[in-house]
Structure 1
Amino acid sequence: MIVALHGVEFFAYHGFYPEEQKLGSRFVVDIEVEFIPANDIAEDDLNNTVNYEQLYEIACEEMKLTKKLIETVAQGIINNIVKQYDFVDVVKLTINKLNPLIGAKTKSSSVTLTYNK
């Protein structure tokens, strides 16, 4: 089973350069969490799955912590998901930084990290 959030938007202050950490940027996060339910999903019980609202909260809290690298931010989100949901088998997470400061018009830069149990 896969539970996912796609296109979650944040404004945050991640970036290697001081001006990025001062001015901030827009980011878009995609999270996919794969697992085998321990109990029958037909029980209609939130405890038998991954709560996508909780995934959002985990991402939101990590996005508030200014980092130089979006790789570090992504790893922090994955670490917290795995801590919250120790039964997950795979977490795939992509962070897109919109309009990065690279000296040319660029839609986004991104990093994708994958955790495999």
Structure 2
Amino acid sequence: MTTPFTGDRIILRDLGFYGFHGLFAEEQRLGQRFFVDLECGVDLRAPGETDAIGHTVSYADIYDVVKATFDIRTKLIEALGQNIVSALFERFGDIKWIIIRIRKPEAPIAMVRGEAAIELHRVRPS
């Protein structure tokens, strides 16, 4: 049995989106920037050996699912992250686990520099 969060992975890092997620009316009305880092546990031996796209999960297809799910408004970035994870597991049977980090650099807190973020670690439900 493989330990979760080890082994091969497809990585999409620093994906930028503009969205309307947040608790405050200003966030929901004006929107703000968000950045998503994503790691998907996928066995990459077959595509590595065959050099054939049909043996892997396309990172372009992963991006399309993330983007479509990102456009569904939520109040909490925790819910946004879970929605993205659930959509990826539903769409891609080869993904065994996911680590997602959502960063919110303009979070409505009095910080001069930095960002607020969440990170979820999820294993495909049995």
Same fold (TM over 0.5): yes
1:107 Cα deviation after fit:
2.2
Structure 2: segments with no counterpart, 5+ residues: 1-7
1:23 Cα deviation after fit:
0.9
Structure 2 partner of 1:29:
36
Equivalent position amino acid for 1:26 in 2: R
Tell me the matched-pair count.
117
Q: TM-score, normalised by structure 2?
A: 0.85
Equivalent position amino acid for 1:21 in 2: Q
Residue 88 of structure 1: SS of its match in structure 2? coil
1:6 Cα deviation after fit:
0.4
String of CA shifts for 1:61-85, please: whole Å, max 9, x gaps: 1111111000111111111111111
Structure 1 partner of 2:123:
116
1:37 Cα deviation after fit:
4.4
1:88 Cα deviation after fit:
1.7
Residue of 55, 70, 79 corresponding to 1:48:
55
Contact (CA 8 Å) 1:97, 1:108: kept in 2 or not?
yes
Equivalent position amino acid for 1:81 in 2: L
1:41 Cα deviation after fit:
3.1
Residue of 86, 97, 100 corresponding to 2:104:
97
Identity of aligned residues (%): 25
CA RMSD of aligned residues (A): 1.6
